[in-house]
Amino acid sequence: MSPDDQPTIFALTTALTGFLAYHFLAQSHWLRHWIRNRSARGQFSQNRVFAQRFLGILFLGLLPFAATWMLQTRDPDLIGLGKGDLYQSLRATALLSVVIVLITFFNAQKESNLDMYPQIRVKEWSWRLVFWSSLTWALYLLAYEFLFRGLLFFLVLHAEGFAVATAVNVTVYALTHLPKGEKETLGAIPLGFVLCWFTFATGSIWLAVAVHVVMALSNEWLSIYYHPEMRVKKTD
């Protein structure tokens, strides 16, 4: 293996190891059993989702970042954590957010969407639960985007160029959606390409993070609103 190949091999190995560790732990019977035994009545669903998101923050974000910091680079710009073109990021985020919310507005009420979202399956949501779910979603997606559009995309980009970095990124990104079904797997292909292009154009992951957070939170909030068996309590 030549020195030029090392960043690509490191990025692929770290991204796949981090994601697989997260996925198998988050979906394990052991985790489900452990949480069920420690959850008060009616709190299993939210505790399980929070545990899964914290595992994501750890295995998709913190550990890959630590490995990159120690073994590859300490320059935030080389892994997409610099500010990049901040003005362009903000302008594109505002435009894309409008489009995303409009699409989500019509998609969230579909039965196929309500069968999966919101991830926390409780009938009565307190405002505290809405807040903590939103916060953990955002932190999870920050870790998620760091792994894919940060570490994986930027390290391969600097070593192999935009075309290879995008092809690798979209392929891996789509494959990680296989557990969520054919629809989300196919949808991840154009979304992955768009996120890679904007990440490249702006020089950082922040647009991808913002867009992903807007998508997730708008879908969660609207799914709660449209779900016939869920409501947000006026008081906690």
* Rounded Cα distance, 36 and 20, in Å: 23
Contact between 22 and 144 under an 8 Å Cβ cutoff? The reply is no
What are the residue ranges of helices labelled H in the chain?
A: 6-26, 29-37, 44-56, 63-71, 86-107, 111-114, 127-145, 153-160, 162-175, 182-202, 206-226
pLDDT of residue 179: 82
Tokens of residue 3, six digits: 């020195």
Report the predicted TM-score, pTM, of the whole model to 2 decimal places. 0.94
pLDDT of residue 85: 94
Rounded to whole angstroms, the Cα distance separating 6 from 183 reads 34
Question: Rounded distance, CA 169 to CA 179, Å?
Answer: 18
Write out the chain's pLDDT in tens, 236 residues. 456 679 999 999 999 999 999 999 999 999 999 999 999 988 999 999 999 999 999 999 999 999 999 999 999 999 999 999 999 999 999 999 999 999 999 999 999 899 999 999 999 999 999 999 999 999 999 999 999 999 999 999 999 999 999 999 999 999 988 887 888 889 899 989 999 999 999 999 999 999 999 999 999 999 999 999 999 987 66
Rg from Cα positions in the chain? 18
**Nearest in space to 181 (alpha carbons), one of 121, 90, 233, 116:** 116
What residues form DSSP beta bridges with 125?
A: 232
Please give the structure tokens belonging to residue 96.
């894309």
Report CA 222 to chain centroid distance, whole Å.
19
DSSP state of 81: -
